[in-house]
Amino acid sequence: MKKQHARFVFLLGGLMVGLMGGHVAQAEPSSQVVWDSATRHIVGSGNAVRGAANAEVCDSCHASAPGKSLRANFPRLAGQNPFYVYKQLMDYRANTRGHGVMQNFASQLTPAQMADLAAYYADQDLPGRPARQASPEVLRLVYRGDARRLIPPCAACHGRYGEGALVHVPALAGQEVSYFTTTMQAYKSGERANDLYSRMRYIAGQLTDGEIEALARYYAGTGR
């Protein structure tokens, strides 16, 4: 990433926290997960082999191995950032990310089991990569953002190839188009509100439906 971009993102990040901090402070916390050393230690101690032993039921909906059918609105987890997976499971359990089915599964897991499942998925390859070619509008949003709408580049947080980043920024590469679109619309409407500092809610709120769709296809690797 160019230095200039890094500074731009840093400034924007500060501005967004500044603008929305007051609002966030009064609202319910968007997540109860705090990345203190104890939590990092739990996720870092996740064991993929132990995770695999519990993953059969999860894989019936989340596996993306060739030949396995996957409902289009089920997120792919292969290669996903383990800190992100852990955080989502904790958020479902606490109902700060609402979803009946996932809340039910997450409530049956201990934090250590969540970390094991996160390690199991992190061990797998990402299911795909972003498209090699895309429209200039999509590439601009991904790599430059849009200063006019205060949108930082997606790649600044999600990585150059949509591979995700520390601490809990998810990978987007190879994600299902319809899941990607649905979850972005849920951020946009506020129905999904477990993102810290409302960053994704703000960004999704600035994007048009057409841009969301095009970004989903870009990250899924299917191009234009």
Cβ at position 203, least distance to ligand HEC in Å: 5
**How far, in Å, CA of 101 to CA of 104, rounded?**
5
Binding site for ligand HEC (CB under 6 A): 13, 57-58, 60-62, 74-75, 77, 85, 87-89, 97, 99, 101-102, 105, 117, 141, 151-152, 154, 156-158, 168-170, 172, 175, 180, 183-184, 194-195, 199-200, 203, 215
Name the minimum Å distance from CB 190 to ligand HEC: 13
- To ligand HEC, the closest distance from the beta carbon of 43 in angstroms equals 13
- Nearest-approach distance from CB 84 to ligand HEC, in angstroms: 6
Choose between 25 and 101: whose C-beta lies nearer to ligand HEC. Answer: 101
What minimum distance in Å lies between the beta carbon of 164 and ligand HEC? 9
Q: Tokens 């695999």, residue?
A: 52
Closest CB to ligand HEC among residues 26, 79: 79
Omega into 167 within 30° of 0, i.e. cis? yes
Choose between 61 and 139: whose C-beta lies nearer to ligand HEC.
61
- Residue 133 or 176: the one with the smaller Cβ distance to ligand HEC is 176
Task: Write 188-196 long-range contacts (CB < 8 A, 24+).
Answer: 188/212, 191/98, 192/97, 193/30, 193/96, 193/97, 194/30, 194/31, 194/87, 194/88, 194/91, 194/96, 194/97, 195/30, 195/31, 196/30, 196/31
User: Do the beta carbons of residue 64 and residue 130 sit within 8 Å?
Assistant: no
